[in-house]
Structure 1
Amino acid sequence: MKAAFLLLILFLLSALPTSAADSQVEGTGSAHIVELYSDIESFDVTFYSSGQEENLTLEVSLVRPDKDENVIAAQEFSTGSLPANTRVTKVGFWNVRNAERGAYTLKARLLEQGQVLSESEYDFVYGSNSASRLQLDDLVPNSEGISVVLSPKQASLFDIEYMLVDGHDVIYKTKTEKASLTSIPETFSASWGSLLENNKEYAGRVKVQVYSPSRGFITSTENFTARDDAEITDIYEDETGASATVLGRSQVPFEGSLAFSVYKVQETSGSGSSVFVESIRERVPVLLTDDDETVEVAWNERLTEGVYRLEIELFGNDGDVIERRETIIESDLAPSNAGEIIPDTKNETSNKSSGNGIPGFSINAGVAGLFLVFAFFKKLH
């Protein structure tokens, strides 16, 4: 009887729920932290979820572990939407003044309505004398993409991760694997694969992973303002019209226009002045980086004999002049022929009278008619 009673007690104890502390360590949700990185200036956290998650909370803190867990900086923000089966990276920036050399720890917790789903830590050392085989010399992000200059201290193989950052969100990411440097600096670049919003500020971030002599990272981030941009690459002009080819130079959709203006040069004027003739403005088809389109216009009337100045202006989305090109049109068309429609003379002989015959009736047509009449009567007989 006592044995049965003890078994009943053990069964009831095993059925009790686990404590809150244990549930925090194991995690109860499908979303979890899969990768962490931090240095003294910035951090990034990568999540993965097997199901769709909305508006979870990320808590991060920068701690000095050798000084009684002294929290140097802390942040908290929403993760927004986490799609299923997709790695999502968030980026943040520290603002640590007069940072001391030594060991630091990034602590991150992913929460849903106060309940911890996942937590992780990342340790790093700031101001150490450990020499990396690479040095990051310069970083330039813009509306087209991002470029980084790296110089080797020793021959190296490495990976470069390029990130386009909007606030905390990494909206585009691409990676170059097994890049190499041997003796001289080189520039490595990537184009953005995402559309940008005109006049909006973004950040370009690179994360270089070096594998030898030990696995380590070099990161750098620079802000930039996205702008629509394009350039005129080719023009054509004559007395009948003109054209210009425009090349897109930005991931901000270019929705500008081209203006073609013609001025006749006054040859008798010592100052070389010119008189306005006409101007035509046409919309440029929407362009992105490396897209090109040709815009053609025709003058209202063919330009008569003389020398003309053609001015082509490329206007951006905001109406600002992005580029201006000038060239010369030289016409040898006589003034009497300007605007004159040249008649079609292909069938001129068919409309002339042949001798004393009927006007407009050709000999060939007469012969063919007689032949048909003869054939008709022969068939009747």
Structure 2
Amino acid sequence: MKALLFVLVLFLISVLPASAANTSQANGTAPTRIAELYSDIESFDVTLYSIQPEENLTLEVSLIRSENGNKEVIATQEFSTGSLPANTRVTKVGLWDVRNAERGAYTLRARLLEQGQILSESEYDFVYGGNSASRLRVDDLIPNSEGITVILSPNQASLFDLEYMLVDGHDVLSSTKTEKASLTSIPEAFSASWETLLENNREYTGRVKVRVYSPNRGFIASTENFTARDDAKITDIYEDETGASATVLGRSQVPFEGSLAFSVYKLNENFGTGNAIPIESVQERVPVLLNNDDETVEIAWSQKLPEGVYRLEIELLGNNGDVIEHRETVIESDLSLASSLSSVNNSTSETEASSGKRTPGFSASSLISGLVAVFVLFKEAKLKQNTRL
């Protein structure tokens, strides 16, 4: 009997630590664990935390429908967590594709796995299509290459936090928070700019998560996809008979590496565009721009425009050479043709002088002046000699 009791005690000692370990992992005290969960019928997010660096763990998430005591898994996703830095909260985001969703109770179940072994497990319950109305609702969500804007309407005066997320696949590239914002009676737009560079023609997801403080600390989330594009606009132009300039403002977190094309045409007397004569075209690269950066690009015509009326066309070309914006204006010059040619000759003379060249006329006058000075000195010397004699 004593021997049997001894064996039973040894068995319990060997089993209890494993059970305690599983309980601690489920309760969120494991070294690497699921720290926070959220889901609705459209999307979910899982926040992970580790006290040590981890690589390529597996996150398994399931959407479970509960009805009359029965549970049905209606969607499951499994993906790698990538790199998890030590002592850093990392959030992973995903989208559900549930068609004809039924009203009722749902559960998000998340499991963090390492080679098939569960490191941490957690669940989040929510109700879809319930009668309980939130204090806030999302009227519209617009993410683009600049940032994200959400329009919120209050059902009651509310105090809330806003989190803006830029998502690529399951990874949150950028996250910005606005704390203790408020609405009282009318809808209002809230915006944030992305704080990271985007890749041209790549699809991203913009997400807003609203945390309402009262009566219960609930959440509202909204998600929308967009394709990042390089973008800019011309904000100011200047033109005259000597040249032109344009100021360009960046409107995207995709680096803008485009150019400006300036073209000038001589117009006939009735200013008809059909008979315009091409005079000159110049294309100049725009310095790299990001959202809200601006640069001014200046060009000069090869010669001043003679008297007449000209049409100036300015095209802003994108990274791929596509025309983003087209502007037209007129240049009215009162310079005569002779004045225009004279200005060109003067410019040529100034260029030669600055490079150390001299014109033949200048060299001849210098030679004559030198000969006269020598003749005068020679004559004075001869007079002095005759006086002595």
Distance in 1 separating the partners of 2:372 and 2:244: 42
Match of 1:88 in 2: 90
Alignment of 1:58-77 (within 5 A): 58-66=59-67, 67-77=69-79
Deviates most, 61-70 or 42-51? 61-70
How has the CA–CA distance of structure 1 residues 359 and 234 changed in structure 2, closer, same or farther, with 3 Å as cutoff?
farther
Correspondence for 1:267 among 266, 269, 272: 269
Distance in 2 separating the partners of 1:360 and 1:132: 104
Query: How far apart are 1:30 and its partner, in Å?
Result: 2.5
Number of residue pairs the alignment of both structures matches: 354
Match of 1:348 in 2: none
Distance in 1 separating the partners of 2:308 and 2:15: 96
Query: How far apart are 1:96 and its partner, in Å?
Result: 2.1
AA at the equivalent of 1:222: E
How has the CA–CA distance of structure 1 residues 26 and 359 changed in structure 2, closer, same or farther, with 3 Å as cutoff?
farther
Query: How far apart are 1:24 and its partner, in Å?
Result: 3.4
Q: TM-score, normalised by structure 1?
A: 0.85
AA at the equivalent of 1:116: I
Distance in 1 separating the partners of 2:156 and 2:272: 66
Give the conservation status (yes or no) of the 8 Å contact 1:304–1:333: yes
Note the alpha carbon deviations across 1:300-337, whole angstroms, 9 max, x for none: 11111111111100000111000011111111222113
Give the conservation status (yes or no) of the 8 Å contact 1:198–1:227: yes
How has the CA–CA distance of structure 1 residues 83 and 310 changed in structure 2, closer, same or farther, with 3 Å as cutoff?
same
Query: How far apart are 1:19 and its partner, in Å?
Result: 6.7
Distance in 2 separating the partners of 1:271 and 1:228: 31
Correspondence for 1:109 among 91, 108, 111: 111
Note the alpha carbon deviations across 1:179-219, whole angstroms, 9 max, x for none: 11111111000111111111111111111111111111111
Q: Does 1:47 align with 2:48?
A: yes
Match of 2:14 in 1: 16
How has the CA–CA distance of structure 1 residues 85 and 262 changed in structure 2, closer, same or farther, with 3 Å as cutoff?
same
Correspondence for 1:281 among 280, 283, 286: 283
> How large is the RMSD of aligned CA atoms in angstroms?
3.0
Distance in 2 separating the partners of 1:131 and 1:360: 107
Gaps of 5+ in 1: 345-350, 362-381
Query: How far apart are 1:18 and its partner, in Å?
Result: 5.3
Gaps of 5+ in 2: 351-362, 374-389
How has the CA–CA distance of structure 1 residues 14 and 332 changed in structure 2, closer, same or farther, with 3 Å as cutoff?
same
Deviates most, 212-221 or 314-323? 212-221
Correspondence for 2:346 among 341, 345, 350: 341
Distance in 2 separating the partners of 1:360 and 1:129: 112
Match of 1:131 in 2: 133
Deviates most, 330-339 or 119-128? 330-339
Distance in 1 separating the partners of 2:141 and 2:133: 20
Query: How far apart are 1:268 and its partner, in Å?
Result: 6.7
Give the conservation status (yes or no) of the 8 Å contact 1:25–1:119: no
Query: How far apart are 1:273 and its partner, in Å?
Result: 2.4
Query: How far apart are 1:252 and its partner, in Å?
Result: 0.6
Which has more helix, going by share of residues? 2
Match of 1:376 in 2: none
AA at the equivalent of 1:107: R
Match of 2:182 in 1: 180
Query: How far apart are 1:36 and its partner, in Å?
Result: 0.2
